[in-house]
Amino acid sequence: MAQENAAFSPGPEEPPRRRGRQRYVEKDGRCNVQQGNVRETYRYLTDLFTTLVDLQWRLSLLFFVLAYALTWLFFGAIWWLIAYGRGDLEHLEDTAWTPCVNNLNGFVAAFLFSIETETTIGYGHRVITDQCPEGIVLLLLQAILGSMVNAFMVGCMFVKISQPNKRAATLVFSSHAVVSLRDGRLCLMFRVGDLRSSHIVEASIRAKLIRSRQTLEGEFIPLHQTDLSVGFDTGDDRLFLVSPLVISHEIDAASPFWEASRRALERDDFEIVVILEGMVEATGMTCQARSSYLVDEVLWGHRFTSVLTLEDGFYEVDYASFHETFEVPTPSCSARELAEAAARLDAHLYWSIPSRLDEKVEEEGAGEGAGEEAGEGAEQNGCLPPPESESKV
């Protein structure tokens, strides 16, 4: 019966599963935010150049082709209407007739002449005559507008091709962040590296804590952003990114993790967004790389494996170990509790050292008093005559 009851009795309760947090910034740097219910869509047209640059490549190519094709068709139709209105199409075989455009015998020929005019090809078969003032005006308009369309579209494609977004793909962040001791203080650390030989100039690093909070008045602020100091005051946030670097955030009284222990950190819900900015050495354009760390990606009591070794005349970086960490002894208490324990230890040492010195002085004083008494007794026993006997002599 006991075995049957044990078989049917519920087992130990499983710990509640943690609900997966939606990332604010993906690991590859893409912001996981979509703009919805935007009613003032005309604002996109006020900055048409940026709108075209931000389009996806397939849409940009489609717009590029349509811009030229529609322009050629539009002016080709106008050339055909001029020829039709002047009666050039009815006097194709009349050698005495001076048309607006020689050898323009239909819409296809007008379309080809439009392409030749806008692209300045000039094959020489179809040419405009001096007996067509409306054609001369149209020729000037098409030349000017064609140059504007050409400059606009080529400029968009050039900016889109030269965007430094792909340069950010060779800037890598460690897959995990770690928490361990550095110089006796708890620090949150992550690693960054550059895979290319051409370096990032004026590189700087920032870190943001994304966590919802509620004010004292009861206002709920979703995805509240808090700065994590990574050396702005000391200049350590400006990087010379030649080899992988470990970026450290010291958990002090100004840190939002000041009172977070290991257990409290595991129960918390937050996201750390790291941003690396700098100029591409080859092009001089500004580049930005982003990544993020969720609670499950912060390892307490770990340290990064070294990836830099000294070879014969150079330093070698082993990126195979870039994401590797190893465990180190780390207290599980919060940084505040660790600082208080260190302060108590310092206070104990401060008060214990003077008391020990006082005891030593008292012992030395007692020893000197005993020595003087022993010396006086020895003199009185006949080693030296007392001073009174000398005066009598």
Q: Give the mean pLDDT per block of 10 residues along the chain (393 residues).
A: 41 46 87 82 78 87 92 94 88 84 90 90 83 91 92 88 80 95 94 90 93 91 93 90 94 93 92 93 86 95 94 91 94 92 76 54 54 45 42 39
pTM over 0.85? The answer is: no
Fold of the CATH domain 171-337: Immunoglobulin-like (2.60.40)
- pLDDT by residue (tens digit) across 196-224? 888 888 999 999 999 999 999 989 999 99
| Backbone angle region of 328, left / alpha / beta, with phi > 0 → left and psi within -120 to 50 → alpha | beta
Domain ranges of the chain: 41-162, 171-337
pLDDT attached to residue 356: 54
CATH level 3 topology of 41-162: Helix Hairpins (1.10.287)
User: Where does the chain have alpha helices with state H?
Assistant: 2-8, 42-46, 48-54, 57-86, 107-118, 133-161, 262-267, 335-378, 387-392
Which pLDDT score is estimated for 47?
A: 79
**Which helix (H) or strand (E) element contains residue 291?**
strand 286-294
Q: In the structure encoding, which two tokens stand for residue 138, read together? A: 């149209």
The answer to whether 272 and 177 are in contact (CB under 8 A) is yes
| Domain 41-162 matches domain 171-337 at the CATH topology level | no
**Per-residue model confidence as pLDDT tens digits over 68-95:** 999 999 999 999 999 998 888 888 888 8
Per-residue pLDDT, 281: 83
